[in-house]
Amino acid sequence: MKKFTIYAFAVLPMVFWSMTFIWYKIVLEYIGPVSVTFFRLILASLILMVVTKYFIKTKEKLVKKDYLYLLLLSFFEPFIYFMGESFGMQYVSPTIAAVIISTIPVVTPVFAFRILNERLNIYNIVGLTLSFAGVVIIIVNPSSSADFTVKGIMLLLMAVMGAVGYGITVKKLAANYSSLTITKYQSIIGCFLFMPFYFVFEHRTTVQNIGISVSDGTFSVLILTLVQMSLFASVMAFVLIIRPIREIGISKTNVFTNLIPVFTAVISYFYLKESFDIQKILGISVVISGIVMSQIKGVFRKKTLQIM
């Protein structure tokens, strides 16, 4: 039952993050990407402050030395990850962007081994490779454009490093603090990191567009979608994912991120009526097979194959 809970906590965030692609299609008609993240973090902070004060009371006091870790955590994700991904996608094709982002589970073990001494056995390594191959099968379309620039590649690699840095930092904090406490401060600090960019680049346009949505009666749709994004993708997903990182390690947790294109393909089929062909079915099968293999045996056993 404990293993089932841990893996459920690893899978559910991927479902929530997959849903953001649908929600983004709605909110980006009204406001820009920086505004979306800024408002999500504000709502997430409010939700978590209310929950930790009135419902699930946490009396954890921050140790002074952990202030830097919390700042670093928020800097890596959402700040670095979001900035790298959102701006990088403006300079590369969606296919190239998706492939680069899906390298997160492949890159993670190198840093996890060096910094946290996490080790993988041969089954884990083959599983990581398989899951990455499955993602490529799902998203690569021979007829799609593969345009890219060096600037776009570098920005997306920055997002990858942000995700890896987040996992390593949260692993250190998770030993002393609850998931709610970590996610609450991550959201609050994230608000301040995004605030200057919001007011410099998007504030005026966002206010105008919100005014238009109020006048045409679609403001409620915008608010409801932002609340859903905040509650599920910015609060619950991050609260849940911390436990698997703590219990089974970063490398074996991050491989579940390759489920995002799987869930996105399924959700898009039902909600956006996108095609679901043999190629996607094959890719999904390979991804799931790779994830199952990546979880075989213990990641922390001494007699394992060292990757570096």
pLDDT tens digits along 240-270: 999 999 999 999 999 999 999 899 888 888 8
Asked whether the predicted pLDDT for residue 49 surpasses 70, the reply is: yes
Residue 148 backbone phi and psi in degrees, to 5: -160, 160
| Short-list 222, 232, 219, 183, CA closest to 19 | 232
Q: How far apart are CA 186 and CA 76, in angstroms?
A: 10
Residue 305 has pLDDT above 90, yes or no: no
Neighbour tally for 196: CB within 10 Å? 9
249 conformational bin, left if phi > 0, alpha if psi -120 to 50, beta if neither: left
Model pLDDT, residue 90: 79
Hey, how many other C-beta atoms are within 10 angstroms of the C-beta on 49? 13
pLDDT, tens digit, for every residue of 69-113?
999 999 999 999 999 988 887 788 767 787 888 899 999 998 999
Task: Report how far residue 88's alpha carbon sits from residue 92's, in angstroms, rounded to the nearest whole number.
Answer: 7
Per-residue pLDDT for 126 more than 70? Answer: yes
Q: Which amino acid is at 144?
A: S
d(CA 208, CA 205): 5
How far, in Å, CA of 210 to CA of 258, rounded?
Answer: 35
Q: What is the pLDDT of residue 144?
A: 60
For the chain, the average pLDDT equals 89
The reported pTM is 0.89
Residue written as tokens 């996610």? Answer: 183
Closest C-alpha to 41, from 52, 49, 29, 30: 49
The reported pLDDT for the residue numbered 85 is 87
Q: Which two structure tokens, joined as six digits, stand for 183? A: 């996610």
Q: Calculate what percentage of the chain has a pLDDT beyond 70.
A: 93
Whole-angstrom Cα distance, residue 85 to residue 158?
A: 8
Identify the pLDDT of residue 259: 93
Strand partners, 92: 148
What is the C-alpha to C-alpha distance for residues 252 and 131, in angstroms, rounded to an integer? 12
Distance CA 252, CA 238 (A): 16
* DSSP string for residues in 226-261: HHHIIIIIIIIHHHHHHHHHHHH-HHHHHGGGGGHH
Q: How many CA atoms lie within 13 A of 172 on its CB side?
A: 17
Per the listing, tokens 């056993």 go with 301
Assign 306 a pLDDT band (cuts: 50, 70, 90): very low
Q: Find the DSSP H helices in 75-121.
A: 81-88, 94-101, 104-116
Sign of the Cα torsion 162, 168, 169, 173 reads: positive
Round to whole Å and give the CA distance between 32 and 8.
33
**pLDDT at residue 304 in the model:** 41
pLDDT tens-digit readout, 196-230: 999 999 999 999 999 999 999 999 999 999 999 99
Model confidence at 55: pLDDT above 60: yes
Report d(CA 61, CA 40) in Å as an integer.
Answer: 25
Higher pLDDT, 21 or 303: 21
pLDDT digits (tens, 9 = 90+) for 132-187: 999 989 887 766 655 678 898 999 999 999 999 999 999 999 999 999 999 999 99
Q: Work out the end-to-end distance of the chain between its first and last CA atoms, rounded to an integer number of angstroms.
A: 34
Which backbone phi and psi does 91 adopt, to 5 degrees?
-120, 0
